[in-house]
Chains A and B, each alone.
Chain A
Amino acid sequence: MNTTKFALITIVVGAAVMAFAHWFKVDYLFFASYTILQFIVLATAWNILGGYCGYVNFGSAAFFAMGAYSSVALHKFDSLIDHWFSGSFAALLHGIFPLSVPVLILFGAIVSGIAGFGMGYLTLRLRGSFFAIATLALAVVLQTLVVNWEYVGGSRGAYIIRPESIEFVGITINYIEYLFGLMLLLAMLSLVAARAIERSQLGFGFATIRDDELAAEACGVPTLRVKLIATTISGAFMGMAGAPFPYYIGYLQPSSAFGLEYAVNSIAMPMIGGTTSWVGPLVGAILLGSAQQYATVSISSEVNLLIVGLILVGFVIIAPNGLIGLVQGWRRAWRKP
């Protein structure tokens, strides 16, 4: 199956999901599934670098928060135009701002993509573990920066008033449904991109680096360049997932944007699903995401995170290739006797 066919199938499935959700029309369903879709994007983005290339990124929360805070910064800028500028330039800016959420997503992608590239450039020339350590520390430092940055609300956080509804080609739709639709599109885009990368020359380059970097270098794979492409794409998708977040949550504070759940889930989901193909993060995100939606409501969010952590540790020890690996193993065992 080629990428075009796969993209068409994804669009059909996505349209079906959208139609079903629209027909169901329960706000909670939109809220809950938005989170799951967001995790599909994050897990797929993590897997492009972690699963395909073998480089662990612990800073998913940082890239996610960079997307979210670039939205907040651009949102705040709108109300300060008259304060900073005057005359025709201010009028021009008023014509551009406030930016729509799709444009903010694009900005989030650019900011986090550049950050991914920078992190990669500084640390990827060294041993693999240095990249992991640097990303782990990145989240702490960016949080320090944001807490000290008054413009985006500092430690108090920032309010973003979400409009009630939005006009879209003549139809008025509920804003949360609009955000849900955008995140659905992002999830589709990330899955198609991940699958296309997997089967392209770039994807084979990633796989050689994962299996044996020295051999890949010897065979003429430009490893540094390939790895930088991976960190940039992966970072950009995480930023995209974060950009609509302030509108979704309405009140963004550093501790929620840099939440632990993003870092742990975006690693746990691909690990549980299986890291070698695009199916793994999807399966992991849907299973773990829905289970967490249920557990957060019925038990408590701490217990739910503890369970995620324990499942992650259990899976990496017992089922190194995730659920996909388990299923493949069973199918092989089924055929043999």
Chain B
Amino acid sequence: MDISFDLLINAIAAGLLLGGFYAAVTAGVSISFGMLDIVNIAHPGFVILGSYLAYFLNINFGIDPILVSILMLPFFYALGSLIYQVYYLSFEKRGQEALRGLAFFFGLLFVTEVSLILVFGVDYRYVEAIYIGPSIHLGIVDLPLRMLVPCIAALALFGAIQIFITHTFTGRAIMAVSQDQLALQLMAADPIRIKRIAFGLSIAVAAVAGALLIIIQPVEPSVGREYIGRIFAICVLGGLGSMPGTLIAALLLGIVESITATFYGPSWAPAVAFGLLLLTLAFRPAGLFGR
């Protein structure tokens, strides 16, 4: 009983750290899917792209992965803006986002994954940094720095996004664009420009999350697909576009997955997110805190 209690506490601690990271991965989707109503299923593709860029710069130039992620921000922001422009002109403007827009993002996800396989192969890749390896011991709880550092970085990023969205004009405009485009236009803001900024932001956040991912675990190109279920489960459970809801849902999923992995084996973990997603869709489609 004593041992299993230790295990449980450690599993919950690990789950909280994992959940903090999941919050960063999902933040981008909460913006694009939750607020802009763009079903960007290619999001994990950009996460993995961020991982591989962090890997490339870390191995060749020895740059710290978290520093890399900050350096990558403008690049991925520009990439996101460009993709939104193509998406807007080709699908949103013509009202075809339901079928062809989805197929477009699916194609992007697919092309990213196959390109990474062609360039880097299917071997697992990892980064090197001083905080990979040691752990902090707090009584019976072990906190590996490999998990703790990404979790703190993720929560800092998440907090920054939350402040940006609630405290700046552009951020509030992003929240408004999902509710009433006409009203936004009357406030002298161009909805298309606001959406472009928001989508660029969501892709930039994906890249940062990718750099954090490769600190937590070795990465190969198809890892992204496991994250599709997770991020959309969190996003829906968190109530589509609510940042505090996303954080709580992410921590919840992290804990449930960690406990499942500890007591039933890690090969079952991907099924947890999907089960949670299906249950949420069936019973609480408005999310945990939805009205």
Contacts and interface: CB of A to CB of B under 8 A. Distances in A.
A92 interface: no
Contact of A123 (B102, B111, B275, B281): B281
Interface stretch (B12-20, B162-170, B209-217, B265-273): B265-273
Contact of A317 (B86, B117, B268, B282): B86
Contacts of A136: 41, 228-229, 232
B100 interface: yes
Nearest to A314: B107
B98 A140 contact: no
A132 B94 contact: no
Given A147-B267, A313-B104, A134 B277 contact: yes
Nearest to A317: B90
A136 B226 CA distance: 10
Contacts of B115: 306
A128 interface: yes
B226 A129 contact: no
B96 interface: yes
Contacts, number: 117
A196 B274 CA distance: 35
A166 interface: no
Contact of B104 (A139, A140, A316): A316
B114 interface: yes
A140 B222 CA distance: 11
Contact of B278 (A134, A260, A264): A134
A153 interface: no
B79 to A, nearest CB: 15
A132 B110 contact: no
B225 A140 contact: yes
B186 interface: no
Contact of B103 (A123, A138, A271): A271
B285 A126 contact: yes
Interface string A310-330: 101100110010000000000
B106 interface: yes
Interface string A216-240: 0000000000000000000000000
B270 A140 contact: yes
A148 B268 contact: yes
Interface stretch (A22-30, A34-42, A50-58, A107-115): A50-58
Interface residues of B, number: 43
A94 B111 CA distance: 48
B111 A309 contact: yes
Interface string A104-126: 00000000000000000011001
A54 B106 contact: no
Q: By CB atoms of chain B within 10 A, which of A50, A58, A137, A140 has the most?
A: A137
A144 B281 contact: no
Contact of A129 (B90, B102, B229): B102
A132 B274 contact: no
B281 A267 contact: no
Interface string B123-146: 000000000000000000000000
Contacts of A50: 99
Interface in A147-196: 147-148
Q: By CB atoms of chain A within 10 A, which of B39, B114, B278, B282 has the most?
A: B114
B108 interface: yes
Contacts of A275: 99
A8 interface: no
A130 interface: yes
A209 to B, nearest CB: 11
A130 B113 CA distance: 23
A227 to B, nearest CB: 14
B108 A313 contact: yes
Given A126-B285, A132-B39, A138 B107 contact: no
A227 B102 CA distance: 19
B268 A144 contact: yes
A303 interface: yes
Contacts of B188: none
B41 A132 contact: yes
A264 B232 CA distance: 20
A54 B99 contact: yes
Contact of A312 (B94, B98, B103): B103
B110 A260 contact: yes
A15 interface: no
B118 interface: yes
26 contacts: A54-B98, A122-B278, A123-B281, A126-B285, A132-B41, A134-B278, A136-B229, A137-B229, A141-B271, A141-B274, A145-B271, A148-B268, A260-B110, A267-B106, A268-B107, A302-B114, A302-B117, A306-B111, A310-B107, A310-B111, A312-B103, A312-B107, A313-B111, A316-B103, A317-B90, A320-B96
Given A132-B41, A137-B229, A317-B90, 7 more contacts: A129-B98, A132-B39, A140-B270, A141-B270, A267-B103, A303-B118, A309-B107
The 3 A-B pairs of least Cβ separation, nearest first, read: A137-B229, A313-B107, A309-B111
